[in-house]
Structure 1
Amino acid sequence: MSNLDPNPDEVVCAGRDGHRPRVLDYREVPLGGPRAMTVRRSLPQRGQSLIGAWCFLDHYGPDNVADSGGMRVAGHPHTGLQTVSWVFRGEIEHRDTTGAHAIVRPREINLMTAGSGIAHSEFSTADTTVLHGVQLWVALPNAHRFTEPAFEHFEPPLLDIEGAQVLVFLGSLFGQSSPVRTFTRLLGAEITLRPGQTLSVPLAADYEHGVMVDTGMVSVGGAEAKSGQLVYLPLGASGVDIAASPDGSARILLLGGEPLGEQIVMWWNFIGRSHDEIVGYREDWQRERRDQSSPQTGRYGPFPAEWQQTIPAPDLPNVRLAPRG
C-alpha cells in the first residue's frame, strides 16, 4: 500500500521502552480522492514509532466497496522495507516490478521485500464487495536494506489453542513457525478469541510487542483496548494474558520483534537513513516514471505492461530533516 498523504511528514524513528502496557490510539488517514478509503494508522506516532522493526500499521474496513470504491492504488515505489499484506475479508490484486502477480486473500500472507527499490500496485478485485484488513511495513536493518527485491506468499495452518484460532504468518508462536524470510527476528500472528476467553500467550522477553485489536474488546495484561487501538508491550515480558470481553468474540494481531537499534528516516513510501537519500530515491522515481525506455538500469525495475498510470511523488518539504525520536 502507498502512503497517499500529499504532504507526508519526514520522520526519524527510534524505539521507546516503558514498563507497563500502554494503549495507543490511531489517527484516521484518507487514502486520496473524493471516494477515498479511510485507514486507521497506529504506527508511526509520536508516542511510539517502532515496535521491533515494525514501523507502519494501517488498519482498514470493513468497508463496503460500493461506497468506498475499494482499494485502487496505482504503481508506486518503495525502498528499505518489507510490506506485509494481510486481509480479513475481500481480495487484492498485487503486481510488482519483479514480475510478481498475486491475489492477496484472507488468511494468506503476501510479503514484498523492497530492498534497494521496487514498485507495485494494489487493486481490490471485481468480486470484492467488502474490504477489511491491515497493511504493515517492516524496516530493513542497515546491513540488508539494499538487498534484492523479492515477493513471497504463505498460507499458515490454522491452529486451535484452547479453543482460540491462531494463524502464525511471521516468526514462531505456539510451536508453529513461518518460512517467510525476514531480516530481523519478528513475530506476526492473528488470534481469534471466543467471548469471555482468556488466552495465555508466550512471548520472547527480548522482543517488543504490539497487540492491535481488529474486532471486539480485549484486555491485554490488564490494559483495556477496543477496535483499532494498539497495546504496546515493552521488553522483558515472557508472556501475556489476552482476554476477550464476555459480550463477544475478539480478533487481534500480535506483532513483535527484537529492537531495530537504528534510526530510520521515513518519508512517503521510502525508508532511508538521511534526508539526502530520500531526495535521491524521489528523483529516481520521478525520472523512471517519465522514461521506461531503459528499465533494466533503473532503481525500481520495469513497469508491468498492465499499468495504465503510476503515482507521482509528493513535493519534498522546504527544510531539511531535523533529527528527532
Structure 2
Amino acid sequence: MSNTETHPEERICESGPPTAPARDGARPRFTEGLSDGVSALEGRSGPVELLEPRRVPLGGPRAMTVKRTLPQRARSLIGAWCFLDFYGPDDVSATGGMAVPRHPHTGLATVSWLFTGQVDHIDSAGNWATVRPGEVNLMNAGTGITHSEFSSADTAVLHGAQLWYAFPDHARFTPPSLESHRPEPVTGDGYTARVFLGSLLGHTSPVRTHIPLTGVELRLQPGAVLQVTVPAGHEHGLLRVTGDVSLDGVPIPEDHLGYVGTGRDRITITAGAQPVTALLIGGEPLNEQIVMWWNFVGRSHEEIVAWRAAYQSEMGFEAPAPGSPLAGSGTRAAQPDGGAALGAPVSGERLARLLDDAYDDGRPFPQFGDFPPGQPAPIPAPPLPTSRMKPRANPPSR
C-alpha cells in the first residue's frame, strides 16, 4: 500500500530508552510527552498509551479510507513497526475497494493481513500473488521495489490491515523478495491466535524478519481473559478490530491502537460482552534513527532525495539526475539513450541496454525494477518537503 498523502512529512524516528513501568495502582491520564492523538491511562502494570487513528483516503472523494495509527507525532515506532493502516469493512461496490497502482518502497517490509476479501499483488521482483484472509504476505523492499495492489474481482467486502516495519541497518539493502505463510491456529481457553510473525503462545512463524518482531491475529470469545507471556525487552501494540477489548485493564476505543512499553513480561487482553478480533504487534526497540518519507525508509535526508530522483526518472516522470545511467553521461553504455523522452517507465530494449550499469553511488539500475506490460500507470512521488524535519524521538517506553 502506498502512503497517498499529497504532502507527506519527512519524519526522523527513533526509539525511546526503556524504563521500568510505574506501579502506583492509580489511573491518572498522562500528558507529558504525548500529543496529537496520543493519550495514556494507568494500567495494571504501568501506563497504556492510546493512539488515535487519522483517516486517509486512498484516492478521490469516493475512495476507500484507511485508518492510520502509526506513525504518530508522539510515537513513531513500536519495535521496528513504523506504519499501520487499518481499513474496512469496506463495501467495494461503493468505493472501488483497494486500487493502488505501481509505487515504490525502500528499506522496509510491508506486511499484509486480511480478515475479509482478497487483494491481488504484482511486484517488480517478478512476484504475482493473491493476499487472502488468514495468510500473511511479507514483501521485503530491500534496495528498492515497486508493486501494485488491487482488490480481486470477486471481492465484495474488504477488511484488513497493512503494516510496515523498518529494516535494521545491516539488512536494509537485501535483495527484494516476497514471502507468504498461512499460520496454523493456536487455540486455548476462550481464544484462537494466528502467529504470522515472530513467536507467541508457544508457536513460531517461519517468516524471516531480520529483527525480533511479533505479529498475531487474536480472536477472543466474550468475557475471555488472555494472559500472554512476552519478552520484557519488547514493546507491544494492540489494535482493536471488532468488539470491546482492554489491554492491561485499559479499554481501547474503537479503531485505536493500545501501546505498552518495555519492562513487563506479561500483558493481559480482556474481551467484553461481544466476540473480539484484534491484532497484537510488538518487537525489540529498533534503537536506530530512521528517516521516513512517503514510501521510503532511509537513514538520511540525502538518501531520500536520491531515491525519489531515481524513482521519478525510472518511471518517466522527471528528467534523470546527474549520476543516473539514464543521464547518458561519460562513457556509460547508456550514453546513446541519454535524453530519451519522458512519459513512460524505462522498459523493454531500452531497459535491457542499461541492465549492467549502476548509479554513481553503486546502487543497481534500475533501482525499482521492471514491471509487466499492460498495468495501470505508476503513481508519481509527491514533492519533497521544503525544509528538513528536526529529529523526533519516541517518548520513553514507560
Decide which of 270, 283, 286 is 2:296's aligned counterpart: 270
AA at the equivalent of 1:278: I
Aligned partner of 1:245 in structure 2 is 272
Distance 1:214 1:32 in 2: 23
Distance 1:322 1:303 in 2: 36
Aligned partner of 1:227 in structure 2 is 254
Decide which of 132, 136, 155 is 1:109's aligned counterpart: 136
Aligned partner of 1:121 in structure 2 is 148
Decide which of 210, 231, 245 is 1:183's aligned counterpart: 210
Alpha-carbon offset, residue 21 of structure 1 = 1.6
Aligned partner of 1:289 in structure 2 is 315
- Aligned CA distance change for structure 1 residues 321 and 47 (closer, same or farther; 3 Å): closer
Q: CA RMSD in A?
A: 1.2
Decide which of 80, 93, 98 is 1:66's aligned counterpart: 93
Aligned partner of 1:300 in structure 2 is 368
The yes-or-no answer on 1:218 pairing with 2:245 is: yes
Q: TM-score, normalised by structure 1?
A: 0.97
Distance 1:160 1:319 in 2: 51
Aligned partner of 1:257 in structure 2 is 283
Distance 1:199 1:228 in 2: 20
Cα-to-partner distance string for 1:189-243 (whole Å, 9 max, x where unaligned): 0000001111111111111111111111111101111331111110011111111
Cα-to-partner distance string for 1:124-170 (whole Å, 9 max, x where unaligned): 00100000000100100111111111100000001111131100000
Aligned partner of 1:11 in structure 2 is 11
Length, aligned pairs only: 324
The yes-or-no answer on 1:26 pairing with 2:48 is: no
Distance 1:227 1:319 in 2: 35
Q: TM-score, normalised by structure 2?
A: 0.80
Distance 2:291 2:76 in 1: 11
Alpha-carbon offset, residue 37 of structure 1 = 1.2
Q: Is 236-245 or 124-133 further displaced after alignment?
A: 236-245
Distance 2:306 2:389 in 1: 14
AA at the equivalent of 1:300: F
Mapping 1:11-160, distance limit 5 Å: 11-16=11-16, 17=18, 19=21, 20-160=47-187
Decide which of 378, 382, 388 is 1:314's aligned counterpart: 382
Checking the alignment, whether the CA contact within 8 Å between 2:113 and 2:133 is kept in structure 1 is yes
Alpha-carbon offset, residue 174 of structure 1 = 1.2
AA at the equivalent of 2:7: N
Distance 2:372 2:52 in 1: 38
**Gaps in structure 2 of 5+ consecutive residues:** 22-46, 317-345, 356-364, 394-398
Q: Among the aligned pairs, what percent are the same residue? A: 51
Checking the alignment, whether the CA contact within 8 Å between 1:5 and 1:32 is kept in structure 2 is no
* Secondary structure at 1:21 match in 2: strand
Checking the alignment, whether the CA contact within 8 Å between 1:220 and 1:241 is kept in structure 2 is yes
Checking the alignment, whether the CA contact within 8 Å between 2:10 and 2:388 is kept in structure 1 is no
Checking the alignment, whether the CA contact within 8 Å between 2:190 and 2:225 is kept in structure 1 is no
- Aligned CA distance change for structure 1 residues 308 and 23 (closer, same or farther; 3 Å): closer
**Gaps in structure 1 of 5+ consecutive residues:** none
Aligned partner of 1:208 in structure 2 is 235
Alpha-carbon offset, residue 29 of structure 1 = 1.0
More strand by share: 1
Checking the alignment, whether the CA contact within 8 Å between 2:181 and 2:196 is kept in structure 1 is yes
Checking the alignment, whether the CA contact within 8 Å between 1:275 and 1:321 is kept in structure 2 is no
Alpha-carbon offset, residue 305 of structure 1 = 2.1
Alpha-carbon offset, residue 123 of structure 1 = 0.1
